[in-house]
């Protein structure tokens, strides 16, 4: 068993971890090992939203364009495709890209094939909403966790390898202990998202210091029989309820946005993989929800019931990635999106009341 923190990022602690040095976790878990040369990565969430069924083909055409851009010079080392329906009933397709070097993502965004398409006035006229949410997490402010050692998801696909069994998991606060920066940094959040520029339907926001991002996922492709029934009939409904709470009411407890997404293939067909993506005012706000809020306690309890009933012998795959980013390492851009999209919620929404929002005719609902 070893520490989740890679050797090259270990240093004398000035802040105590949540667990004692002789703590032994109740089950094994693993983390991804990035190359020691990786100091700052790039993550990009590129979305297209629509409200009417007759806009589906155009939106999928945009997704195809994004994939072509990903395949161009300087594109991401790994990408995922996902779909969800947001709080206002808008259907959203998202292409998620991961770059091993933040500078590579910045250069790719500036390439003509990407920049000209994004800045084209047509983006404001075609009846679709577009967004790109960019985060550049530093390696010292990033951690991953996996329930199985043989396949990675998300940013971990860029890793050069994995750890042995790690010590820092299986207790509240373990995510913080896995972050190398937490050895000396309280990782506090401060400030709030701000409008950097607004020109008609184009809105650019800056983030704030200490923002926490979590992508937490599950895959049930290999499950069968009783385990599959337990997950789909007992665990997933409770998970979905918790995700809905964060999407609709999370702002009150420090959650800027939450998306409960399902992976899709290049044809738009759903896969048996899903994840929640949420941005938080701070790691502390995320921890507080995880440790004490009834919605997460219900998720955790239902899952542990499943684990015990299956005697810890699961085919269900679980993972997450957590990053804490400073204001200068975030950029959020929205074109023709409804005013409660992503980080715009609570910043530029004005008198738009989410509870009164009605998607145009033809929109799906949760």
- Distance between CA 162 and CA 176 in Å, rounded? 19
- Model confidence at 345, pLDDT cuts 50, 70, 90, reads confident
286 pLDDT higher than 80: yes
Specify the pLDDT at position 348.
Answer: 61
47 pLDDT higher than 60: yes
The pLDDT tens digits for 123-139 are: 999 999 999 999 999 99
DSSP strand E in 220-316: where?
A: 255-264, 270-280
Specify the pLDDT at position 346.
Answer: 73
The pLDDT tens digits for 153-196 are: 999 999 999 999 999 999 999 999 999 999 999 999 999 999 99
Long-range contacts of 198-202 (CB under 8 A, 24+ apart): 198/348, 200/124, 201/124, 201/335, 201/336, 201/337, 202/124, 202/333, 202/334, 202/335
The pLDDT tens digits for 227-238 are: 999 999 999 999
Burial of 54 (C-beta count, 10 Å sphere; 0-12/13-18/19+): exposed
Residue 57: how many other CB atoms lie within 10 Å = 9
272 pLDDT higher than 70: yes
The pLDDT tens digits for 188-242 are: 999 999 999 999 999 999 999 999 999 999 999 999 999 999 999 999 999 999 9
361 pLDDT higher than 70: no
How would you list the strands of the sheet with 317-325, edge to edge? 142-146, 317-325, 211-219, 270-280, 255-264, 78-85, 91-99, 42-50, 129-135, 330-335, 202-206, 194-199
The pLDDT tens digits for 63-108 are: 999 999 999 999 999 999 999 999 999 999 999 999 999 999 999 9
Specify the pLDDT at position 347.
Answer: 80
Residue 105 tokens read as 């993502």
Q: From 133, 136, 152, select the one nearest 144 (Cα to Cα).
A: 152
- Model confidence at 366, pLDDT cuts 50, 70, 90, reads very low
- Model confidence at 312, pLDDT cuts 50, 70, 90, reads confident
Q: What is the mean pLDDT of the chain?
A: 93
Is the distance from CB of 177 to CB of 144 less than 8 angstroms? no
Specify the pLDDT at position 362.
Answer: 36
276 pLDDT higher than 70: yes
The C-alpha R_g of the chain, in whole angstroms, comes to 20
- Distance between CA 294 and CA 297 in Å, rounded? 5
Q: From 172, 145, 177, 168, select the one nearest 33 (Cα to Cα).
A: 145
- Distance between CA 343 and CA 256 in Å, rounded? 6
Residue 12: how many other CB atoms lie within 10 Å = 6
- Distance between CA 363 and CA 90 in Å, rounded? 6
Question: Which residues are known to be catalytic?
Answer: 320
Calculate the CA dihedral of residues 251, 255, 261, 263 and round it to 10 degrees.
Answer: 160
Question: 165-188 burial by CB neighbour count: b if 16+ within 10 A, else e?
Answer: ebbbbeeebbbbbbbbbbbeeebe
Residue 51 tokens read as 């409200």
Residue 357's φ and ψ, nearest 5 degrees, are -70, 140
- Distance between CA 54 and CA 253 in Å, rounded? 37
Q: Look up tokens 């809905």; give the residue.
A: 244
Burial of 335 (C-beta count, 10 Å sphere; 0-12/13-18/19+): buried
265 pLDDT higher than 50: yes
- Distance between CA 51 and CA 62 in Å, rounded? 15
């Amino acid at each position: 068993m070893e520490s989740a923190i890679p050797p090259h990022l270990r240093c004398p602690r000035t802040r105590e971890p949540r667990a004692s040095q002789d703590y032994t976790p109740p089950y094994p878990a693993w983390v991804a090992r990035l190359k020691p040369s990786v100091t700052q990565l790039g993550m990009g969430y590129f979305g297209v939203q629509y409200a009417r069924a007759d806009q589906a083909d155009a939106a999928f055409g945009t997704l195809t364009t994004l994939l072509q851009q990903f395949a161009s010079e300087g594109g991401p080392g790994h990408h995922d495709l996902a779909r969800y329906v947001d709080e206002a009933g808008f259907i959203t397709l998202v292409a998620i890209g991961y770059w091993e070097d933040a500078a590579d993502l910045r250069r790719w965004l500036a390439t003509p094939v990407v920049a000209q398409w994004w800045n084209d006035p047509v983006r404001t006229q075609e009846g679709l909403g577009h967004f790109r949410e960019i985060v550049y997490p530093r390696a010292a402010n990033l951690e991953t966790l996996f329930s199985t050692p043989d396949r990675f998801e998300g940013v971990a696909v860029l890793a050069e390898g994995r750890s042995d069994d790690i010590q820092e998991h299986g207790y509240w606060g373990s995510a913080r202990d896995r972050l190398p920066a937490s050895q000396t940094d309280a990782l506090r959040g401060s400030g709030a998202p701000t409008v950097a520029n607004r020109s008609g339907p184009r809105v650019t926001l800056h983030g704030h210091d200490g923002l926490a991002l979590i992508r937490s996922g599950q895959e049930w492709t290999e499950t069968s029989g009783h385990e599959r029934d337990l997950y789909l009939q007992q665990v997933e409904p409770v998970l979905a309820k918790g995700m809905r709470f964060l999407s609709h009411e999370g702002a009150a407890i420090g959650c800027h946005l939450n998306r409960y997404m399902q992976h899709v293939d290049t044809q738009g067909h759903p896969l048996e993989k899903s994840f929640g993506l949420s941005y938080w005012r701070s790691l502390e706000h995320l921890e507080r929800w995880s440790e004490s809020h009834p919605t997460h306690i219900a998720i955790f309890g239902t899952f542990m019931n499943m684990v015990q009933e299956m005697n810890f012998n699961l085919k269900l795959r679980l993972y997450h990635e957590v990053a804490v980013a400073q204001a200068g390492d975030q950029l959020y851009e929205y074109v023709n999106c409804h005013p409660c999209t992503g980080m715009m919620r609570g910043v530029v929404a004005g008198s738009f009341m989410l509870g009164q929002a009605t998607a145009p005719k033809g929109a799906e609902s949760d």
